Structure 1
Amino acid sequence: MNISEDELEQRLRALFADERLDLPPPPDAGTVIVTGARRRRRRRHVVQAVAGVAAAAVVVAGGLNVFRLHTEDGTAAMSPPGTGAGVKPPENLTAGRSPEPSSPGPTGTQSIQVSAPPGAATSRTPRPPASPRPSTLPAVTSGPLLAADGFGRLKLGMSEADVIAQTVTLSDAQAGAGCTVYKAQGSGVPAAASVVISKAAGLVVVTPDVAAHTAEGIGAGSTKDQILATYPAAKDEASDVVAPAGGAAEYRFRLGETGVVQTSLTSVTQDCAG
Structure 2
Amino acid sequence: MNLEEELGRLLNDDRLDVRARPDATEVVVTGARRVRRRRTAVVGAVTAVALVASGWGVTALGGSLSLPSVDPAVLPTTTITTMTSTGGVTAAPPPHTVVETVTVSVTKEQARPNVGYGAVKFGMTEQEVTATGLVTRAPGGECAAFTWTSDPGIANAVLVGRGRGVVRIELPATGTTSKGIGVGSTLERVKAEYPTGQQAYGGGSYDVVMPGDVAWKYVFALDAERVVGIRMQRLGADCAQQGEQR
Classify the TM-score, shorter chain.
Answer: 0.3 to 0.5
Relative to the length of structure 1, the TM-score reads 0.40
Relative to the length of structure 2, the TM-score reads 0.44
User: Rg larger in 1 or in 2?
Assistant: 2
